[in-house]
Amino acid sequence: MNPTGNTILITGGGTGIGRGLAEAFHRDGNQVILAGRRQSVLEDTARANPGMRFLLVDVENLDDTQRFGAQVKTEFPTLNVLINNAGIMKSEDLKTGAQDLALAEQTVAINLLGTFRITAALMPRLLAQPKATIMTVSSGLAFMPIYPNPSYCATKAAIHSWSQSLRYQLRDTSVEVLEIAPPYVQTELTGRFQAEDPNAMPLADFISETMALLKNPPPSGEILVERVRSRRFAEQDGTYEQTYEQWNDYATKRIAERAAKGDRVHAKLS
């Protein structure tokens, strides 16, 4: 994709990685449209970055995503970049049976079906452009899960697989497909703890390295900062079993530390 002069729509663009990418693209001279369902968050981000626009959409709702697609076609006919970033991450206890089933279903609806729905709604607009890009945001957890967040990890693994199929299907069109797989980054995805965790990659560092990689994407289409590569290629390198056990032991330690402080939310570790 060209580094500037694009019309870029980012779902979940009001906070965290989404906001970081939005502001970086905005500084580079792109028209950026934020999309999400929390108007106050979107307004705050747009207000802090004059020239940004925002639209409301509920990616859990099929009818609303279809309405949204029509709105984008009318208001932003030059749209040529879609970044599917919206997502949630909740902890689940699978031993409780159906108790956490609603959380699992919501995670699938937002992280996975939301990506499918928004992409489908905007695909005709993107295919109509001389050059366009679809980006998905998966996770290092797509390649090495942690046990407290089974549905999140599963949706990100599915996003990776789906991105590969989408890339192949669009190989003879004007639309390229890129996948951003973040490591553990200092955002509030799982709560304030994550944003302050010194073990997480600083958001500014992640955005800077990602933007540099986007200027010359690899043939695989996978945008991998250095910090996530060990997990992405652990199976290939023959280190998967050992690293998986170490990482999930570490997750257990972190959960215990947070429980001792009265924090019931599990940290995102990737």
pLDDT over 70 (residue 268): no
Number of H helices, E strands in the chain: 11, 7
User: So what's the pLDDT on residue 265?
Assistant: 46
* Per-residue pLDDT tens digits for 87-140: 999 999 998 888 889 999 999 999 999 999 999 999 999 999 999 999 999 999
- Establish whether 240 is a catalytic residue: no
Q: In this model, does residue 270 exceed pLDDT 60?
A: no
What pLDDT is stored for residue 260 in this prediction? 80
Q: Which two tokens stand for residue 182?
A: 């973040």
Q: From the CB of residue 160, how many other CB atoms can be counted at a distance below 10 Å? A: 18
pLDDT at 263 over 70: no
Specify the pLDDT at position 142: 98
For residue 154, give Cα distances in angstroms to 50, 62, 74, 81, 216. 37, 21, 35, 26, 29
- Of 147, 152, 184, 250, the catalytic one is 152
CA distance 206 to 210: 6
- pLDDT, tens digit, 9 for 90 and up, residues 156-202: 999 999 999 999 999 999 999 999 999 999 998 988 888 888 889 99
Domains delineated in the chain = 7-260 (3.40.50.720)
Burial class (CB in 10 A: 0-12, 13-18, 19+), 91: buried
pTM recorded for the entire structure = 0.94
